[in-house]
Amino acid sequence: MTTVILLRHGRSTANTGGVLAGWTPGVELDETGQAQARAVGERLAKVPLAAVVSSPLERCRQTAAAVLAGRDLEPATDDRLGEARYGDWTGRPLEELAKEPLWKVVQQHPSAAVFPGPEGEGLAHTQARAVAAVREWNARLGPDAVWLACSHGDVIKAVLADALGLHLDQFQRIVVDPASLSVVSYTETRPFVARINDTGGDVAALLPPPGEGRRGTDSDAVVGGGAGATA
């Protein structure tokens, strides 16, 4: 059973500015986001991670760096964990975008949404590449690994929808706040979603059992919701 911790980046300057950042370069964590990143790094300090893999965008790399602090791990990046490519919507105010006809499609029928412009992609493609990345890293790291993927709200929601067996059209029902943790354990038969939008509390369930250096593979090893899990 391979367990991935899906971490959304901390609050960014685009979040506070109400702008759809997408792949805009130079969007960084604001002061609150930096504090959130440090706090989540401290929460996870005792969790043995096989890898920390980040979106290549600065706000995710900054958040991942806080998790890597004090660990003997090299950071890794994967473009497939990058933000959805919003095309011509990139950099525009959310208040303005909410008036576009496509906005209702994104909210109500996202599997059909394709963002405008030569750089735009469909949300179905965003989901496919992100799920492929998670599953490839699972295979690379092995069945006993616990690893962390630092990504973006829509990307994490899309991965969670896949793990929950939900059609992509339902992914807008999932909430993923800045610096939140969501946890999925993958087995040969199915994924188990253990946490969604966890923003505080105990992470002891992510630690190996006492006396074991690696996670077991029996059903009792499936990560529970824990006292800090929220939905």
Q: What is the mean pLDDT of residues 199-218?
A: 70
- Kindly report whether the global pTM for this prediction surpasses the value 0.85: yes
Q: Supply the residues annotated as catalytic.
A: 9, 83
pLDDT value of residue 42: 96
Surface-to-core class of residue 8, CB atoms within 10 Å of its CB (0-12 exposed, 13-18 middle, 19+ buried): buried
Q: Which residue has the higher pLDDT, 207 or 117?
A: 117
pLDDT-derived band at 222, boundaries 50, 70, 90: very low
pLDDT value of residue 209: 80
H helix and E strand count, the chain: 7, 6
- The three-state secondary structure class of 113 is coil
- Are 113 and 122 in contact, with CB atoms under 8 Å apart? yes
Surface-to-core class of residue 105, CB atoms within 10 Å of its CB (0-12 exposed, 13-18 middle, 19+ buried): middle
Domain 2-16+29-81+121-221 has CATH 3.40.50.1240: yes
Return the structure tokens found at 158: 């899309």
Q: What is the mean pLDDT of residues 42-46?
A: 96
pLDDT higher than threshold 70 for residue 225: no
Q: Which residue has the higher pLDDT, 19 or 217?
A: 19
- The three-state secondary structure class of 41 is helix
The b-or-e profile of 70-86 (16+ CB within 10 A means b, else e) is: eeeeeeebbebbbbbbb
- What is the per-residue pLDDT across 8-25, written as a single tens digit (0 to 9) for each? 999 999 999 999 999 999
